[in-house]
Amino acid sequence: MTAELIPATVTRSTEDYLKVIYRLSAHGEPASTSQIAELLDLAPASVSGMVKRLSEQGLLEHVPYHGVRLTTNGRRIALRMVRRHRLIEAYLVGFLGYTWDTVHGEAERLEHAVSDTLVERMAHALGHPRVDPHGDPIPDADGTIAELIHIPLSDLNVGETVVIRRVGTDDDGWLRYIGSSGLVPGTSVTIVDQQPFGGPVTLAIDGREQVIGRELAAILLCSREEA
């Protein structure tokens, strides 16, 4: 990702908006004003005004009656921030003794302050990781990102063995619970039982059984083990 493609006047607020819109539209759906407002904890009217300004700057494009998507340049800026955020999280866990449930807020603050040079030194020190501590893919320096397709554990069938690859939350309470339960990325689990009508899921992990709620199962994103 070359420096000349990132406007020098991009504000912290712009970076936050573009990153949130990337998150909301990562699977192809446009981001609505109400969704953006909820994630940024802002009034919808304030969001509407900012979206209009970002559109005028060529960073967003409107999808009539649906919301907005990032333009090429808007996506480039968003991915730059995603790279910073996820590398900072990985560095804090890997070198500074943070746990995966304590890094999100720190990364939110630091991602706007660190230089590109420092970010790249972090990446080098970490050995250029492909994912952050939560299993989220880290964009390359040129803005390329592997959009990984994983299956929610709640959508799998009884008898399937899968590997947890990613957790779909940055809530510190959820992450502490997931970590204490041993359901971290890289863990192999087998679906022993699924109760109907949103009931609990029973897993086998290292020879022991564990029952989890369907809401938790839905945010554990998995890949099927290869035969």
Q: What does pTM read for this prediction?
A: 0.90
Q: What does pLDDT average to over the chain?
A: 93
pLDDT over 80 at 128, yes or no: yes
Cα–Cα separations (whole angstroms), residue 227 to 42, 45, 67, 161: 48, 52, 42, 10
pLDDT tens for residues 164-205?
999 999 999 999 999 999 999 999 999 999 999 999 999 999
Percent of the chain residues past pLDDT 90, beyond the cut = 87
User: What residue has token string 């949103």?
Assistant: 198
Within 10 angstroms of residue 48's Cβ, the number of other Cβ atoms is: 12
pLDDT over 80 at 9, yes or no: no
pLDDT of residue 148: 80
**H helix intervals, 41-102:** 44-56, 72-95
Kindly report the backbone phi and psi dihedral angles of residue 36, in degrees, each rounded to the nearest multiple of 5, phi listed first. -60, -45
pLDDT over 80 at 85, yes or no: yes
Domains of the chain, each with CATH number or no CATH: 1-147 (1.10.10.10), 151-224 (2.30.30.90)
| 190: Cβ contacts below 8 Å, ≥ 6 apart | 159, 160, 161, 162, 203, 204, 205
Work out the average pLDDT over 45-65. Answer: 93
pLDDT over 60 at 130, yes or no: yes
pLDDT over 50 at 213, yes or no: yes
Distance CA 55, CA 145 (A): 24
**DSSP 8-state assignment for residue 137:** B
Work out the average pLDDT over 87-111. Answer: 96
H helix or E strand, kind and range, residue 39:
helix 33-40
DSSP 52-65: HHHHHTTSEEEETT
pLDDT over 60 at 46, yes or no: yes
Distance CA 143, CA 72 (A): 11
pLDDT of residue 227: 39
Q: What 3-state DSSP class applies to 83?
A: helix
